[in-house]
Amino acid sequence: MITDKTPLVQVRHLVQTFNAGKKDEVRALQDVSFDIYKGETLGLVGESGSGKTTTGRALIRLYQPTSGEVLFAGQDIAKLKNGSAQMLAFRRQTQMIFQDPYASLNPRMKVKDIIAEGLDIHHLVHSPQERDARVAELLAEVGLNEDHASRYPHEFSGGQRQRIGIARALAVEPQFIIADEPISALDVSIQAQVVNLLKDIQDKKGLTYLFIAHDLSMVKYISDRIAVMHNGRLVELASAAEVYHHPLHPYTKSLLSAIPEPDPDSERQRVPIAYDARQAEGGQRQLVEVLPAHYVYATAAEVAAYRQSN
Amino acid sequence: MERILEVKDLAIDFATYAGTVHAIRHVDFHLDKGETLAIVGESGSGKSVTMRTVMGLLANNARVVSGSVKLAGEDILHKSEKALNQMRGNEVAMIFQDPMTSLDPTMPIGKQVAEPLLLHTKATRAHAMKEAARVLALVGIPDAQARLKDYPHQFSGGQRQRIVIAIAIINHPKLLIADEPTTALDVTVQAQIVHLLKDIQAKLDTAIIFITHDLGVVAGIADRVAVMYAGKIIEYGTVDEIFYNPMHPYTWGLLEAMPTLSATRKRLFAIPGTPPDLLTPPQGDAFAPRNPYAMKIDQEQEPPFFAVSKTHAAATWLLHPDAPAVDPPAEIKRRKQIWAQKEGNHDYR
């Protein structure tokens, strides 16, 4: 739900290189630029190794960018000093929900301490009673109840743990949440519950999401716009409907052609489209606004062809 | 049709510190030569335990309460460990979910692929390696001969899963069990692996059991489908019967919860609640607490199977002649309309 078009996050020519200059140099992100508007959900899809997780981590400054910049509410996050008041404020504004609900909760901590850790760090509660009340409120918000507060993570199912992870993220009242494959470890019927929960919370609080996933069919449900990554580059960026009904870049087409549908008739006729990166990446290509609000990574000639085909 | 596998009245308990878990509660199914059966269910529904039983791989705390498992006519539940070793990797082979952990990282792949041949046949080393190269080429590893000495880490995730498949098929097993073989892979790679399995089946006439929770993959690969819930099969039928004429409310829920590219709904359907605790299986229908169509009898008595056709049956009281007619969800109605067109008759529930 886009309420206005003010960008909350601006990524400008971001390059992230690991082990620069060494034999095992990895160019994880190559000249990535995009905006995330206030109140929207941007879906980020791509295969393993495409750079989508690196992008998510760069946005909460787990890395120092090699070049380029990331602006959060207009402020360059690379310039924030560790331990400074601005850094602490930024960390409160931006929260993350992780893929594996089994690995992302400390098994030795009670649920209430997991959820209240952020409250303690940011001094958001001032008495044990207030702390318990806030935890109970957060648990209710994600569909769990007060009794769960004094249990340990192992007593919960995968879907419930993911709800605890969401409650922890919400505790510090962030503006922006990065969800890195939050549902891929869950069963289909539970995935739907978690996606609906994330949507409800967004509607209620006006949050901004970056939703990272490799499952395009699920991303479509939650995203306003979708960015497709491959080999560390953004190859296409457009509204969710545009990406699905009118994909332009060959990689997006290939990705869409491979998604299995729960329909035997259409599966029998499925023809996956092969993708050859050599034909559609590198060279003189840039991310160009081919149609209004529809960006594609292409050469000038390809851009002309895309425009013509409309 | 040659019957490869026959499972009858199988029930398995696990002894745990918390008490006895009734993981499998009386399961029947069978599989013919060259056929693909998909077993669909959530984590904890018992699909993997069922398959481990067929492989003779049950943990020490498991107890077979009742039933029989016959592979090519032979009962495997009472076989010795030695006889089971003879069977595994020879008559029946398994492909696991995670290709990263099912290969030995310290052994060249050629040796790993040739191993079943050396163990189960009198093949010489040289012949086994030659055969390994041939099978690796068959599963689509480019330049297989030259890569025999490479280690697993030198291959991508999709290629590793191809290598695992090569190990599984080198002895031409009668039955191939694939336990979520594509879950850990990217969508594009997943499509390739599904295609490969179909291709192998056409070439070798192997029977395949495909375990998954992804109905999209099932639609593309299965001939028949069995849906499991809380340790039981609750509906089975041909792939068309399950996708276009489903009868059990749980199957409805699964189909509704699947996001489809074409659908325009803004909100996803979610099955409310969570599966029951199998330490104390509920009386009556295990799905009743999550079932909006549950009736009084669902709380009291477990539904038997009601036959819909010769190949299709579902364990739900909704199919009882005295049950009131229910109005299925819109998505299921849409599917049943396709079914009605296929059947050429409009008399559907």
Work out the percent of chain A whose per-residue pLDDT is above 90. Answer: 69
Q: Are residues A157 and A219 in the same domain?
A: yes
Q: Are residues A53 and A89 in the same domain?
A: yes
Q: Are residues A207 and A282 in the same domain?
A: no
Q: Are residues A79 and A127 in the same domain?
A: yes
Residue closest to B159 by CA, chosen among B136, B177, B135, B133: B136
Count of structural domains within chain A: 2
Residue closest to B133 by CA, chosen among B122, B119, B144, B147: B144
Q: What average pLDDT does this structure show over A19-32?
A: 90
In a domain, residue A240? The reply is no
Task: Tokens for A212, please give them.
Answer: 């990272």
Q: Are residues A226 and A253 in the same domain?
A: no
**Residue A298 is inside which H or E element, if any?**
strand A294-298
In a domain, residue A2? The reply is no
Q: Are residues A157 and A209 in the same domain?
A: yes
User: Which residue would you say has higher pLDDT here, A109 or B187?
Assistant: A109
Lowest-pLDDT choice from A208-212, A216-220, A237-241, B109-113: A216-220
In a domain, residue A242? The reply is no
In a domain, residue A238? The reply is no
- How many Cβ pairs closer than 8 A exist between chain A and B? 116
The one-letter amino acid code at B250 reads Y
pLDDT at B263: 58
Q: Are residues A104 and A42 in the same domain?
A: yes
Q: Are residues A255 and A227 in the same domain?
A: no
Which of A202, A231, A260 is a domain's end point?
A: A231
Of the candidate CATH numbers 3.40.50.2000, 3.40.50.2300, 3.40.190.10, 3.40.50.300, the domain formed by B3-222 belongs to 3.40.50.300
Choose among A192, A216, A260: nearest Cβ to B220: A260
Report the CATH number that the domain containing residue A198 is assigned in CATH.
Answer: 3.40.50.300
**Residue A135 is inside which H or E element, if any?**
helix A128-141
In a domain, residue A241? The reply is no
* DSSP of A110-121: -HHHHHHHHHHH
Helix, strand, or coil (residue A167): helix
Is B213's CB within 8 Å of A267's CB? no
pLDDT at A100: 84
Domain boundaries, position A56: 7-231
Give the confidence band of A1 by pLDDT, cuts at 50, 70, 90: very low
Residue numbers of A between 121 and 160 with CB closer than 8 Å to B: 157-160
Is A255's CB within 8 Å of B218's CB? no
Q: Residues A144, A164: contact at Cβ < 8 Å?
A: yes
Q: What average pLDDT does this structure show over A137-154?
A: 93
Is B215's CB within 8 Å of A188's CB? yes
Angle among Cα B211, B212, B213 to the nearest 5 degrees reads 145
State the average pLDDT for chain A.
91
For the stretch A246-286, pLDDT in tens is 999 999 999 998 888 889 998 888 888 888 888 888 888 99
Q: Are residues A20 and A83 in the same domain?
A: yes
Domain with CATH 3.40.50.300 in chain B: 3-222
Q: Are residues A201 and A275 in the same domain?
A: no
pLDDT at A2: 46
pLDDT digit of tens for each residue in chain B (349 aa)?
Answer: 789 999 999 999 999 998 999 999 999 999 999 999 999 988 889 998 999 899 888 889 999 999 999 998 899 998 899 999 989 988 999 998 887 788 999 999 999 999 999 999 999 999 999 999 999 998 989 899 999 999 999 998 889 999 999 999 999 999 999 998 888 788 888 888 898 999 999 988 999 999 988 898 999 999 999 999 999 999 999 999 999 999 999 999 999 988 776 655 567 888 888 888 888 888 899 999 999 999 999 999 999 999 999 999 999 999 999 999 999 999 999 999 999 998 876 554 4
CB-based contacts of A231, cutoff 8 Å, min separation 6 = A30, A49, A50, A51, A277, A281
Is A189's CB within 8 Å of B190's CB? no
State residue B108 phi and psi, 5-degree precision.
-60, 150
Q: Is the pLDDT of residue A135 over 60?
A: yes
In a domain, residue A237? The reply is no
Find, in chain B, the residue whose alpha carbon is nearest to that of A190: B270
Contacts of B261 in chain A (CB under 8 A): 216-217, 220, 244, 256, 259, 261
Find, in chain A, the residue whose alpha carbon is nearest to that of B198: A268
A140 DSSP 8-state letter: H
For an interface test with B, the pick among A189, A198, A200, A231 (most B C-beta atoms closer than 10 Å) comes out as A189
Choose among B243, B262, B268: nearest Cβ to A264: B243
Q: Are residues A218 and A275 in the same domain?
A: no
Give the confidence band of A129 by pLDDT, cuts at 50, 70, 90: very high
Q: Are residues A117 and A266 in the same domain?
A: no
Is A217's CB within 8 Å of B261's CB? yes
CA distances from A309 to A288, B20, B333 (A): 16, 65, 38
Choose among A157, A218, A221: nearest Cβ to B274: A157
Find, in chain B, the residue whose alpha carbon is nearest to that of A157: B274
Which of A167, A202, A231 is a domain's end point?
A: A231
CA distance A273 to chain B (A): 9
Q: In sequence order, which ranges of B205-311 are alpha helices (DSSP H)? A: 215-221, 239-244, 249-257, 296-300
Distance of alpha carbon A143 from its chain centroid, rounded?
22
Choose among A218, A258, A262: nearest Cβ to B215: A262
Find, in chain B, the residue whose alpha carbon is nearest to that of A260: B216
In a domain, residue A188? The reply is yes
> How far apart, in whole angstroms, are the C-alpha atoms of residue A20 and residue B51?
48
CA distance A75 to chain B (A): 34
Q: Residues A191, A172: contact at Cβ < 8 Å?
A: no
Per-position b or e across B18-29, b if 16+ CB within 10 A of its CB: eeebbbbbbbeb
Contacts of B268 in chain A (CB under 8 A): 192, 195-196, 221
For an interface test with B, the pick among A148, A155, A188 (most B C-beta atoms closer than 10 Å) comes out as A188
Residue numbers of A between 158 and 197 with CB closer than 8 Å to B: 158-160, 187-193, 195-196
